[in-house]
């Protein structure tokens, strides 16, 4: 039984556990955890021993009293407030968490018809099918030194996903206008580095199942920053420990569609964390490696072949595709340890026996796997090829003259900030 299943069993298996949780939530010690009071009928040396029947009656009465107290605690409620518009707005501000205030920099909503930079106002309506049906697609581009990296590639994948999910563009929003909106939202953030995530949703209109009830598609874009804690800055030199995930992989059609349904991905990671691993790895029905929770995988064999699983049962990652584009010239230029790149199925056993295994994704960009289940990968240390590929991708993300991978953010239009190429 996986740690995820065991955890769920512990959390939801008994009424007693729920009662203990309720007691903790009220700020009182759970009744079940209190020590039993000793019997007292006078001086200890002369106290007569109660008959066994009396003891059973008293124990039953005590249990009934405890049960009644627990039921009373569970039954305690408070009135639900009915908020005025002003109170609701005040609650939006009061409920902001630290990361929201610190890292959410700008937000565009086609429902609002513009950009806001106040994190409390970065909201989506509850009847948007993105929320209650998961009928939406998204993508994320990196903001690097005032430029969006590979925006065109991410937009193309967004539109491909939207077409497969039967989500049209919102009325009056062309692809070029969408691209301009993303760039101007990045400009409004006044951030030179961060991440830009954007969504296309079936839209608003009710709580039905079909998107046919939606009045129009919706488009959202947010710019946010992400600073790693100091203790995680050198993770790439330590590598990750992974396990084969028991969570069923998505069907091929949905695996290649970047939708907002990331429940399997979340469960994959939570299961791994519950057992002390860093990530889980999805495996397809044939026992072949697919991908991690939100990154692709590459395996370096002993003969120097770098194997990338096909995109039949996983997402076609923008970053790993860029890696495969850059590697031939890097190998020709003398990259150490790798001779060729192949995209083909690879079994779990073959992957575990590889010289190196590493994840590839836009926010990593590369992270070595040093242990898979209970087996070390290679010698259990970060490999030289992973480190070289990491540097290669980091250098490619840096803006440079004549790059077809970067688009400059027009800061001056909304902020008065100077162009970053001047």
Q: Which residues are catalytic?
A: 258
What secondary structure letter does DSSP report for 405?
A: S
Give the count of beta carbons closer than 10 Å to the beta carbon of residue 57.
12
- DSSP codes of every residue in 109-149: ETTTTEEE--GGG----TT-HHHHT--EEEEEEEEETTEEE
Do residues 92 and 121 make contact, with C-beta atoms less than 8 angstroms apart?
yes
d(Cα 180, Cα 328) in Å, to the nearest integer?
A: 34
Give me the residues paired with residue 64 across strands: none
d(Cα 223, Cα 221) in Å, to the nearest integer?
A: 7
* Prior bond of 3 cis (ω within 30°): no
Question: What secondary structure, in 3-state letters, does 224-278 show?
Answer: ECCCCCHHHCCHHHHCEEEEECCCCCCCHHHHCCCECCCHHHHHHHHHHHHCCCC
d(Cα 240, Cα 242) in Å, to the nearest integer?
A: 6
d(Cα 326, Cα 320) in Å, to the nearest integer?
A: 10
d(Cα 281, Cα 352) in Å, to the nearest integer?
A: 12
**Residues 6 or more apart from 85 whose CB is under 8 A from it?**
none
């Amino acid at each position: 039984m996986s740690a995820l299943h065991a955890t769920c069993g512990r959390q939801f298996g008994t009424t007693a556990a729920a009662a203990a949780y309720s007691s903790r939530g009220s700020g009182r010690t759970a009744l079940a955890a209190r020590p039993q009071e000793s019997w007292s009928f006078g001086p200890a040396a002369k106290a007569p021993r109660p008959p066994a029947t009396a003891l059973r009656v008293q124990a039953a009465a005590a249990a009934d009293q405890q049960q009644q107290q627990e039921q009373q605690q569970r039954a305690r409620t408070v009135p639900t407030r009915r908020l005025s518009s002003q109170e609701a707005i005040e609650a939006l501000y009061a409920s902001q968490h630290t990361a929201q205030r610190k890292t959410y920099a700008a937000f565009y909503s086609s429902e609002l018809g513009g950009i806001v930079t106040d994190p409390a106002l970065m909201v989506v309506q509850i009847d948007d099918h993105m929320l209650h049906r998961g009928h939406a697609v998204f993508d994320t581009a990196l903001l690097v030194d005032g430029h969006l990296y590979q925006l065109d590639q991410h937009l193309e994948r967004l539109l491909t996903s939207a077409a497969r999910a039967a989500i049209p563009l919102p009325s009056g929003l062309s692809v070029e206008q969408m691209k301009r909106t993303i760039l101007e939202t990045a400009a409004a953030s006044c951030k030179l580095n961060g991440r830009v995530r954007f969504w296309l949703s079936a839209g608003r209109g009710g709580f039905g199942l079909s998107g046919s009830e939606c009045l129009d598609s919706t488009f959202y874009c947010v710019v946010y920053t992400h600073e790693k804690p100091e203790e995680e800055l050198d993770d790439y030199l330590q590598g990750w420990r992974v396990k084969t995930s028991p969570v069923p992989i998505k069907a091929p059609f949905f695996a290649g569609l970047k939708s907002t349904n990331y429940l399997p991905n979340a469960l994959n990671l939570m299961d791994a964390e519950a057992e002390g691993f860093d990530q889980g790895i999805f495996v397809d029905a044939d026992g072949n490696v697919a991908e991690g929770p939100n990154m692709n995988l590459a395996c370096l064999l002993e003969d120097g072949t770098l194997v990338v699983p096909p995109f039949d049962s996983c997402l076609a990652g923008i970053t790993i595709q860029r890696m495969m584009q850059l590697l031939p010239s890097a190998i020709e230029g003398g990259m150490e340890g790798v001779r060729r790149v192949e995209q083909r199925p690879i079994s779990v056993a073959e992957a575990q026996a590889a010289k190196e295994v590493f994840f590839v994704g836009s926010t990593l960009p590369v992270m070595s796997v040093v242990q898979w289940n209970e087996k070390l990968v290679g010698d259990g240390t970060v490999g030289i090829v992973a480190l070289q590929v990491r540097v290669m991708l980091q250098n490619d993300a840096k803006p440079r003259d004549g790059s077809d991978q970067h688009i400059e953010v027009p800061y001056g239009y909304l902020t008065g900030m100077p162009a970053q190429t001047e």
